[in-house]
Amino acid sequence: MEIDLAALADNARAIARLAGTSLCAVVKADAYGHGAPGVATALEAAGAVHSFAVSLVEEGVQLRDAGVVSPVLVMGPAQRGGHAEMRARDLTPVVSDGADLDALVAAGAAGARVHLKVDTGMGRLGIAVDDAAAVAARARALGLEVVGLMTHLANADVDDPGETDCLTWRQLDRFAEVTAALRTVAPGAMRHAANSSATMLFPSARLDLVRVGLALYGNGAWAADAELVAPRRQAMRFVTHVAQLRHVAPGDSVGYGALWTAVRPTLCAVLPAGYADGLPRRVTGRGAVIIGGRRCPLIGAVSMDIAIADVTDVAGVAIGDEAVLLGRGTGVHGTDTITTAELAAWSGLTPYEVSCGVSKRVPRVYR
């Protein structure tokens, strides 16, 4: 797995220019499979982001251990002992339940800076709109400093911005009302609601900060954001090599279940990568790899450790040649790119699942 750090920094700058506001890089789930310590330290060194967001306390601790000094927002609910750990490691808690206030104070976090999360329609985490003012006032009374007010949008990736009654607009309207009401309690609090899709498609959602994950890594397709399409580059390249070449005669099958049978003399490339590495088994019968700069169909079932490509029509393939499962491949026959969205479509997954699904046994190399 090769991670293009320049692409990440360029993407971050391009998104910040488009948004015209501060950028919080979402690096939860090991930076969507890209490797959170490597990604966060590179973005911080480049001065490309304002802060980072994770889901778990453990993820925030990992960033601190890697030397990250920027603000780190812990968006998920803390497990037992998590409030004390956040205080000890200077992590910023997101309060999504009034009970979090008592846990923070009990952990000696008086004076800590917190963000309040309001549920405006996602229906998962968050303080009810009607309770937000009371929770904010209680936080202040307990000695906690409310420095952020946030919500999470459920439908920004599917709603039409031109449809004024869609859920995204309703959520943004509710958030505007509640943040206005909280100004007396938290006058300087930073407001943030936009994920990647909202940042691209709903300019009024950008507020004081945008929380961007998918777009930061060069994934996602937003036809409306012509300004951003050109500079956004996919940062992940998933690569293996041809381990063996095998000749298969017509009528012979390949792989578990004999799902593919040769109809002509076929040259097969054995690739030492499978679903245990993050090549989804469901690409069976649909997927391809790039060898020598040309797409080659994957044949037979993708197994735990092995995939097979048909390289009959690619002249000069040799053992050791690079085989690109995801990203750009260049060779004597040209250049092609397999996007995360394309691999997701082949496998019936989302782009999030594709990048997060690359397993820990695949080394991350930062370029």
Distance CA 333, CA 291 (A): 9
Buried b (16+ CB within 10 A) or exposed e, 35-74: bbbbbbbbbbeeebbbbbbbbbbebbbbbeeeebeebbbb
Q: Is 217 a catalytic residue?
A: no
For residues 152 and 127, give the distance between their C-alpha atoms in angstroms, rounded to a whole number.
12
Which tokens is 288 given?
């391809």
Angstrom distance (rounded) from CA 163 to CA 54: 32
Active site residue 28: yes
Packing angle, helices 36-45 and 5-19, rounded to 10: 60
CB neighbour class for 316 (10 Å; exposed up to 12, middle 13-18, buried from 19): exposed
Catalytic residue among 32, 117, 217, 256: 256
> What is the 3-state composition of the chain as percent helix, strand, coil, each rounded to the nearest 5?
30, 25, 40
Q: Which of 28, 32, 275, 352 is catalytic?
A: 28
Give catalytic residue positions.
28, 256
